[in-house]
Copies of this chain bind each other. A is one copy, B any other.
Amino acid sequence: MAAAIALSLRGRGVSTPNPSVGCLIVRDSVVVGRGWTQAGGRPHAEAQALEQALDRARGATAYVTLEPCFHLSPRGPRCTDMLARGGVARVVIAARDPDPRTDGQGAAFLAGQGIAVETGLMAAEARRAMAGFFLRQTLGRPHVTLKLGLSLDGRIAMPDGGSRWITGPAARAHAHVERARHDAILVGGGTLRADAPRLDVRLPGLKARSPRPILLGSGDAPPGWTVIRSPEEIATLEHVDHLMVEGGASTAASFLRAGLVDRLLLYRAPILLGAGKPALGDFGLASLDAAHGRWRLTGGRMLGPDRLEVYESVESA
Q: Which of B153, B166, B307 contacts A288 (CB 8 A)?
A: B166
The winner among A154, A155, A271 for most chain B CB atoms within 10 A is: A154
Which A residues, 98 to 134, have Cβ-Cβ distances below 8 Å to chain B?
Answer: none
* Contact in complex: A274, B270 (CB < 8 Å): no
Contact call A280/B166, Cβ cutoff below 8 A: no
Alpha-carbon distance between A264 and B151 when the two chains are bound, in angstroms: 13
Q: Which residues of B contact A253 (CB under 8 A)?
A: 274
Residues of chain B contacted by A288 (CB below 8 angstroms): 158, 162-166, 273
- CB of A60 within 8 Å of the partner chain: no
A151 vs B287: C-alpha distance in the bound complex, in angstroms?
A: 13
Contact call B279/A297, Cβ cutoff below 8 A: no
Question: Given contacts A155-B154, A295-B152, is CB(A280)–CB(B270) below 8 Å?
Answer: no
A283-B275 Cα distance, complex, nearest whole Å: 7
- Copies of the protein in its oligomer: 2
| B271 close to A292 (CB less than 8 A) | yes
**Is A244 an interface residue when CB atoms closer than 8 A count as contact?**
no
A151 touches B273 (CB 8 A): no
Tell me if B291 and A280 are in contact (CB < 8 A). no
Q: Most chain-B CB neighbours within 10 Å: which of A152, A253, A278, A283?
A: A152
Q: How far is the CA of A287 from the CA of B291 in the complex (A)?
A: 33
Is A53 in the interface zone, CB < 8 Å from B?
no
Within 161-190 of A, Cβ neighbours of B (below 8 Å) are at 162-166
Please give the distance in Å from A193's CB to the nearest CB on chain B.
20
Residues of B within 8 A of A229 (CB): none
Cβ of A309: which chain B residues have Cβ within 8 Å of it? 152, 307
Minimal Cβ-Cβ distance residue in B for A282: B275
Chain B residues with CB under 8 Å of A294's CB are 271-272
Q: Which 8 A-B pairs have the closest CB atoms?
A: A154-B154, A275-B282, A271-B291, A274-B283, A153-B279, A274-B280, A270-B295, A153-B280
For the A-B complex with A151-B154, A270-B296, A274-B281 known, give 14 more contacts whose Cβ atoms are closer than 8 Å. Answer: A152-B266, A153-B280, A154-B154, A155-B278, A158-B285, A164-B288, A270-B311, A271-B292, A272-B283, A272-B285, A273-B285, A273-B288, A274-B280, A275-B282
